[in-house]
Amino acid sequence: MQHNDGLLARGISRRDFQRLAGFFAAGAALPFATEPVLAQLSQTGPIPPDAVKINANENPLGPCPQALDAVQSIAARGGRYMYDLTAQFTQTIAAQENLKPRYVLPFAGSSDPLHRVVLAYTSASKPYVVADPGYEAGFRAADFAGAKSIRIPLTKTYAHDVRAMAAADPNAGVIYVCNPNNPTGTLTPRADIEWLIENKPKGSVVLLDEAYIHFSSATPCSDLVAADKDLIILRTFSKIYGMAGLRAGAAFGRPDLLERITGYAAGALPTTGMAGATASLESKTVVPERKTNMKNLREDVFSFLQKNNIAFVPSESNCFMLDTKRPAGEFVKAMQAEKIYVGRVWPAWPTYSRITIGTPAEMAKFQTALLKVMA
């Protein structure tokens, strides 16, 4: 295979290549962690095309009509780099967040800056501090950097325990806060985030992941970036904007903080992602409409669960944790047998499975299967 020969010529051994080919053939154990990869790791075999896929916090609505138009018209001009589209995206999001454009770094999604921040700011002597249960991608990057991950249980109200996180290690490199949290969809009060920024160990950065912020009632913290705090915020277009496959995102931070994650960057960003993201930002309706729609769907499913005495953790996001009252892996398999693919299990909460909220039709199928499996 030509591709294989190319890798071999560049010094990648046949064994390495076979290992990589194995990763890709499995479609699962890729050497980096993203939501769909993590979702795939917890299931066996491919997902049937007619299955309900509520396992990876994706948005079944896809891009809004304005974004879709922008993507379609820019695709025909895909032979050009068009760096101006990236500049336009950066300026648009910066203006909306009241940030100077140099406080914004554009990316193809937010996994990339998440990994870079952890790689740049943690090391064998600078641990990574994260909530438990929390989004796993960061501690996988910390493993790669040779850094210890310190997992701090959520509080009784399912917020980040910012006091315990600040006290976790005086040499902490990164303290990661996800608001709303993945997988619980629960909020950490803004006052706690402010307290953490003021009281964290010297030399550490707070990495605030606002992937799901638009689904919730939480106030974004970009003003704290503008105030030059030791804070990097991540945003993605994969969630409310429905562009996970198109790829767009950004990191907000003081220029000196962002500088440390730019070193390995090279090349252009996808014009489809940048054009679609700018069009999404310019839409006045996409966020409020989708936020209300999600709230209604969430309330419907929560009242169904209450009516049927099924325990769950109330959430402000597009996902929530359901208590299956058994080792949750068994529940996940039983739901798969009904062609409902629900989310994975976090070791800290072994009886819970994360459920992504899909379309009304998908949630109706979920409810039917759930009653059968929980009976």
Ligand X SMILES: Cc1ncc(COP(=O)(O)O)c(C=O)c1O
The residues binding ligand X (CB under 6 A) are 34-35, 57, 109-111, 114, 135, 178, 182, 209, 211, 236, 238, 244, 249
Least gap, CB of 107 to ligand X (angstroms): 8
Q: Three-state SS for 254?
A: coil
Cα distances from 133 to residues 160, 348, 367, in angstroms, run: 10, 6, 25
Q: Which residues pair with 54 in a beta bridge?
A: 342
Least gap, CB of 207 to ligand X (angstroms): 10
How many helices and strands (H and E) does the chain possess?
15, 12
| Rg of the chain in Å (alpha carbons) | 21
For 336, the token pair is: 């798969």
Any idea which residue has 């959430």 for tokens? 315
Decide: residue 232, CB within 10 A, 0-12 exposed, 13-18 middle, 19+ buried. buried
Least gap, CB of 333 to ligand X (angstroms): 23
Least gap, CB of 239 to ligand X (angstroms): 7
Least gap, CB of 234 to ligand X (angstroms): 6
Nearer to ligand X by Cβ, of 137 and 334: the residue is 137
- Residues 276, 70 contacting (CB under 8 angstroms): yes
State yes or no: cis peptide before 133, omega within 30 of 0. yes
Least gap, CB of 178 to ligand X (angstroms): 5
Angle at which helices 360-374 and 286-307 cross, to 10°: 20
Nearer to ligand X by Cβ, of 66 and 317: the residue is 317
Least gap, CB of 131 to ligand X (angstroms): 11
Nearer to ligand X by Cβ, of 139 and 310: the residue is 139
For 193, the token pair is: 């985030």
Least gap, CB of 236 to ligand X (angstroms): 3
Residues 178, 242, 249, 345: is their CA dihedral positive or negative? positive
Nearer to ligand X by Cβ, of 287 and 374: the residue is 287
Angle at which helices 255-262 and 111-121 cross, to 10°: 100
Q: What is the DSSP letter of 61?
A: T
SS (H, E, C) 35-53: HHHHHHHCCCCCCCCCCEE
- Residues 1, 21 contacting (CB under 8 angstroms): no
Nearer to ligand X by Cβ, of 118 and 305: the residue is 118
